């Protein structure tokens, strides 16, 4: 068995044995790799419309398989893989095909499926990996709302399956706004290790000053969108077959030799996608484990706060009821007969009922506020108070940024009272943390040993 397959098998065992039981209890969705058998390695292409994604795919495969143009040419995802003949299949066929691990795409709804296609062609390069082309992102304010399906969920699905993600920008749109900023900061959160940033069409620059200005703008915007210590590396490329049409229009440009080398680096990264698979499987497992640990700790905090409120109002209600019983008995001793005693009992019964309904109202308010980001942010700060106080934990804040929406969805279906008790949760969290510190690093080392052998 190859190293890649052995690592994938062990990773799936860890998902099923250690992560899935706790994830199901906490309504936490594990990544796509945890649900489906491994297929071919995947390369995902993202970017603004007209940034050159489809043109680059055509360049890579040396054939015009994808439509290209300045205006948006497609509003759906296209999977390109090897086949004995050139053919196209619709989304319904793709998601129901027994040999394709894509059945989970059905959860994105019929509007998404209707815009999904699979193209096969007899290209030898596609025997090693599949390519996934995506619709261009829309930067116009409010334009993203015109999509009839959940674009971000589709990107997240394919990004989790992908072993390499290429994110394209071009000189006309070096900014990161609207859908682009959302995809970079939220949808791809935690998957940055798969990401290559590409500034395409550099042959359009008339001089080095224009290039430097655009490159600086993109670097600045990326540094704000992707929270890393260093500015993300940007591959500056152009496609030589398009260069000919530019020169015919008499447009001058900067020297392109270095950009040829940059394009070669990107092509080499794509060709080595199969060798990234085993390492990415482990990285995905680590990322899923860390997210689940954070989610579990947050659920633990929320459950404890919920139970504190519950115990408080139950204690007050019980105390009022006990006081009512004692007062009623005392009234009967002082004023024999039921007239005064019944009045005292009625007052305390009404007070007990008031305390009871007041407590229920507090719990309802608490649960309702869990749908608000501000409340979840406060719960996160309370949960990781010590870690955040000791040092600047950019890693925790970045992970929380990508997990916040998941937490909000969790507590739309899961009540805090359904979270396992504190002791059970603490054991599960310690077990997961041990897994992250011991078992998974062993899996990582086995990749290196297999490579050396």
- For the chain, domains (ranges, CATH) are 39-271 (3.40.50.300), 293-452 (no CATH)
DSSP state of 125: G
Longest distance between any two alpha carbons in the chain, whole Å: 112
In 3D space, the residue among 328, 298, 311, 322 whose CA is nearest the CA of residue 429 turns out to be 298
Q: Cβ distance 286 to 395 under 8 Å? A: no
Neighbours of 209 (CB within 10 A): 10
In 3D space, the residue among 452, 439, 450, 453 whose CA is nearest the CA of residue 282 turns out to be 439
pLDDT in tens, the chain (453 residues): 467 777 777 888 888 888 989 998 998 988 766 665 566 788 999 988 778 888 899 999 988 888 765 555 567 899 998 888 888 888 888 887 766 667 778 888 888 888 899 998 999 998 888 999 998 887 654 444 567 788 888 898 899 889 999 999 988 776 665 678 888 877 887 788 889 999 998 888 888 888 888 888 888 888 777 766 667 789 999 988 777 545 444 555 678 888 999 999 999 999 988 888 888 888 888 888 999 999 999 999 999 999 888 888 888 888 888 887 877 777 777 777 667 778 777 887 888 888 888 888 888 888 888 888 899 999 999 998 888 876 667 778 878 887 888 888 888 888 888 888 878 888 889 989 888 888 888 887 777 665 555
Write down the residue that tokens 């008339």 correspond to. 206
Q: What pLDDT, in 10s, does the model give residues 111-166? A: 888 889 999 899 999 888 899 999 888 765 444 456 778 888 889 889 988 999 99
pLDDT for the residue 292: 92
- The Cα–Cα gap between 366 and 164 comes to 42
Locate all alpha helices (DSSP H) within 370-439, ordered by sequence.
373-383, 385-390, 394-413, 422-434
Tell me the CA distances in angstroms from 10 to 286, 440, 450, one per residue in order.
13, 10, 14
Locate all alpha helices (DSSP H) within 69-162, ordered by sequence.
91-96, 110-113, 151-161
- The Cα–Cα gap between 435 and 441 comes to 9
pLDDT for the residue 326: 78
- Kind of pairing between the strands at 117-121 and 87-90: antiparallel
Burial (CB count <10 Å: 0-12, 13-18, 19+), residue 80: buried
In 3D space, the residue among 280, 279, 227 whose CA is nearest the CA of residue 395 turns out to be 227
- The Cα–Cα gap between 281 and 450 comes to 15
What pTM value is reported for the model?
A: 0.74
Burial (CB count <10 Å: 0-12, 13-18, 19+), residue 417: exposed
Q: Cβ distance 113 to 92 under 8 Å? A: yes
End-to-end CA distance of the chain: 13
pLDDT for the residue 227: 64
Helix (H) or strand (E) run with residue 225 in it: helix 208-225
């Amino acid at each position: 068995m190859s190293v890649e397959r052995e690592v994938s098998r062990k990773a799936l065992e860890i998902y099923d044995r250690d992560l899935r039981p706790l994830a199901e209890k906490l309504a936490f969705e594990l990544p796509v790799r945890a649900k489906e058998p491994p297929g071919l390695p995947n390369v995902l292409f993202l970017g603004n419309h007209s940034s050159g994604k489809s043109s680059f795919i055509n360049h890579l495969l040396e054939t015009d398989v994808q439509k290209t143009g300045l205006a948006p040419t497609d509003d759906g995802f296209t999977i390109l893989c090897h086949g004995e003949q050139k053919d196209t299949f619709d989304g319904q066929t793709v998601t129901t095909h027994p040999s394709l691990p894509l059945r989970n795409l059905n959860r994105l709804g019929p509007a998404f499926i209707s815009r999904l296609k699979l193209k096969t062609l007899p290209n030898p390069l596609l025997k090693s990996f599949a390519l996934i082309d995506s619709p261009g992102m829309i930067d116009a304010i409010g334009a993203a709302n015109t999509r009839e399906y959940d674009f971000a969920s589709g990107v997240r699905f394919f990004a989790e399956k992908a072993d390499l993600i290429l994110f394209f920008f071009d000189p006309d749109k070096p900014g990161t706004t609207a859908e682009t900023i959302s995809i970079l900061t939220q949808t791809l959160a935690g998957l940055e290790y798969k990401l290559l940033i590409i500034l395409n069409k550099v042959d359009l620059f008339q001089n080095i000053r224009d290039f430097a200005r655009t490159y600086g703008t993109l670097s600045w915007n990326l540094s704000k969108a992707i929270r890393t210590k260093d500015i993300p590396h940007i591959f500056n490329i152009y496609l030589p077959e398009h260069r000919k049409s530019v020169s015919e229009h008499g447009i001058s440009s900067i020297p392109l030799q270095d950009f040829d080398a940059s394009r070669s680096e990107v092509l080499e990264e794509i060709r080595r996608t199969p060798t990234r698979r085993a390492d990415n499987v482990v990285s995905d497992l680590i990322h899923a484990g860390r997210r689940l640990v954070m989610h579990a700790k947050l659920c633990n905090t929320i459950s404890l706060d919920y139970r504190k409120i519950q115990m408080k109002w139950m204690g007050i209600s019980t105390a009022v009821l006990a006081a009512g019983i004692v007062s009623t008995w005392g009234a009967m001793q002082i004023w024999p007969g039921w007239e005064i005693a019944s009045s005292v009992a009625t007052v305390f019964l009404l007070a007990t009922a008031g305390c009871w309904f007041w407590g229920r109202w507090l719990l309802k308010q608490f649960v309702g506020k869990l749908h608000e980001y501000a409340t979840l942010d406060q719960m996160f700060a309370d949960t990781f108070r010590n870690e955040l106080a000791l040092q600047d934990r950019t890693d925790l804040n970045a992970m929380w940024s990508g997990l916040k929406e998941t937490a909000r969805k969790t507590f739309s279906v899961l009540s805090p009272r359904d979270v396992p008790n504190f002791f059970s949760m603490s054991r599960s969290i310690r077990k997961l943390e041990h897994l992250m510190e011991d078992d998974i690093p062993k899996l990582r080392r086995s990749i290196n040993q297999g490579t050396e052998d």
